[in-house]
Structure 1
């Protein structure tokens, strides 16, 4: 249909799809399936590696030798970028938003293990001046003879969008093999790129499927603007343009809980219950909240018995370890 930009093959693809038999039976509503993008790799596992395949190819082709990216202290994206950079011979700088003295654990420990240069930025300055901070670092590195490619939060921008456009094509092929049509694909929304790629992919490969996002931060209005921006940026790399209208954007708002990367006991109990029911770990930042939202919507009758729902497991397992002391186990 069109030529994709070049990509570096870094992820373990295709990822499997299987039915959550016990959860589906327990809820007595739609059939729930899982797309296991948590198994795209080990230290690069999760949804970000799909985006980075296209991003890093772009950086290589344009002659960069360094990458700069950003995120929270426990950013899955920064961790994946650090290891991809190491693999491909890039220097890596990660700009991290901090509130308190960082504890070197989980994703942050892995950033350091991969050799990334860490730049801690106070949360207010990070929120208000991120673009300026990234540009200043890029200019500083240029004076040192480095050519640095800036990757925004979550690799959610035009070239990164092709990761989940390609994933939609992959899902389409798996549907043909399994002789199944999904009524819905549900994904967490944290920076907007996974949802936008799937939505563009729906137009090309999954016309009968509705793409639904559950935002884990900000609100619907914020992500509608973000999705439109990423969508538009993608066409710089394509020879076709596909229209997007507000009615194409389906976001279930209201499941961000008490804040980004903050957890309630109800959410953590849900993660524990699902781990014991299905033998799968969902993280407390993205997938745990989004699946909690989906299950709540099923209980409210907004997804019907007999419908088929595919949930995208976007990874993030390392994010569970900083929360370990908050879990309350009865046994």
Structure 2
């Protein structure tokens, strides 16, 4: 049995985006996983409830993880570690001389140790770098637990298997049946958990992902691997091929954490229209993609669409704020 440690404020609420729905002629709802907490806000905490539970089961006193310099996951890991009296060590892709704002500021405020690495080091060597840190901490008398990028492994993805069950229960409460559920794909674990939960519950909804970096094909392979890993913990495998994984490409824009003016303008538009703040790294790009695809007719067969707000409000930096008019 997985030793889940409960941190998140659950269940998160679902609300209808009334004005956006009217403009687009579709029923669009949003699940507020940005409200899972303050320091631990966003989707990552659902995954960390399982990953950190395993770390404590193994008597670890340090958490090691990685991400971009404005990683929501890294910040949430640092917050959970501080809450539990554990140490945290973050491997972040970026320049150590970059201004400490947003998530990076909070990482430091929460007492995390940080190792900055180049894009190349992060892409090709982050696992080895984290393992070297684990060994160095071991020499100092610590036992560290390594959490992969975004807590996106079989263990972490269980958090969104549970989230899917939460959605199914909420559908009964609010008397709505969602036929499309949409989520950002940044490391794959949130999508994989939702997809698995949807399938094992024989739910007819289609799970859509909008990748905000890399490519559709890249994430399809990652998700297939994660689905196999989830089955190790649940004892129930599912048969799926990559064509059944509905990941919509075309919206990474300039790349991870880089924005075009139209993306920032869209986030501003949604804030004024619905009073909901999206972030420029994840949810802003995914919601932008969803609205564009609805306008193209790609979602014409769907009546009730649920968008997963996975958080990220701390991810705004000076450059992105500068694009606001």
- Do both proteins adopt the same fold according to a TM-score greater than 0.5, normalized to the shorter chain? yes
On the 8 A contact 1:255/1:289 being kept in 2, the answer is yes
Residue 148, structure 1, aligned to residue 144, structure 2: yes
1:128 aligns with 2:127: no
Q: Kindly state the Cα deviation for residue 43 of structure 1 after the two structures are TM-superposed.
A: 1.1
CA distances 1:226-280 after superposition (whole Å, capped 9, x unpaired):
1011111122212222222223200110000011110000000000010000000
- Whether 1:96 aligns to 2:92 is yes
Give the alignment's Cα RMSD to 1 decimal.
1.3
Q: Secondary structure at the match of 1:120?
A: strand
1:247 aligns with 2:243: yes
**Match status 1:274 vs 2:300:** no
- Equivalent residue number for residue 23 of structure 2: 26
Q: Is the 8 A contact 1:69 1:152 kept in 2?
A: yes
State how far apart, in whole Å, the 2-side matches of 1:84 and 1:325 are: 28
The structural deviation recorded for 1:170 is: 0.2
Give 1:10's aligned residue.
Answer: 7
**Alpha-carbon distance in structure 2 between the residues aligned to 1:206 and 1:263:** 38
Measured in 1, the distance between the counterparts of 2:38 and 2:286 equals 22
Q: Which moved more, 1:242-251 or 1:103-112?
A: 242-251
Distance 1:328 1:145 in 2: 48
State yes or no: 1:227 paired with 2:226: no
| Structure 1 pair 173–323 and aligned structure 2 pair: CA distance change class (3 A) | farther
Q: How does 1:152-301 map to 2 (within 5 A)?
A: 152-205=148-201, 207-301=203-297
Look up the SS of the partner of 1:310 in the other structure: strand
**CA distance in structure 2 between the aligned counterparts of 1:229 and 1:239, rounded to whole angstroms:** 15
* Aligned equivalents of 2:18, 2:59: Cα separation in 1: 48
The CA distance in 1 between the partners of 2:301 and 2:118, in whole Å, is 48
Q: What do the CA deviations read for 1:182-228 (whole angstroms, capped 9, x no partner)? A: 11000000000000000000012351100000000000110011101
* Count of aligned pairs between the two proteins: 325
User: Residue in 2 aligned with 1:72?
Assistant: 68
SS at 1:118 equivalent: strand
5+ unaligned residues in a row in structure 2: which ranges?
none
Task: Give the Å deviation of 1:152.
Answer: 0.6
1:170/1:135 CA distance change after superposition, 3 Å? same
- Residue 312 of structure 1: which of 284, 290, 308 is its match? 308
CA apart distance, 1:99: 4.5
- Residue deviations 1:269-303 (CA, integer Å, cap 9, x gap): 00001000000000000000000000000000111
Contact residue 106 and residue 322 of structure 1 kept, 8 A = no
The answer to whether the 8 A contact 2:180-2:206 is kept is yes
Give SS of 1:159's match: helix
Which is further off, 190-199 or 315-324?
315-324
In 2, Cα distance between equivalents of 1:65 and 1:100: 25
Alpha-carbon offset, residue 86 of structure 1:
0.7
Structure 1 contact 172–206 (Cα < 8 Å) conserved: no
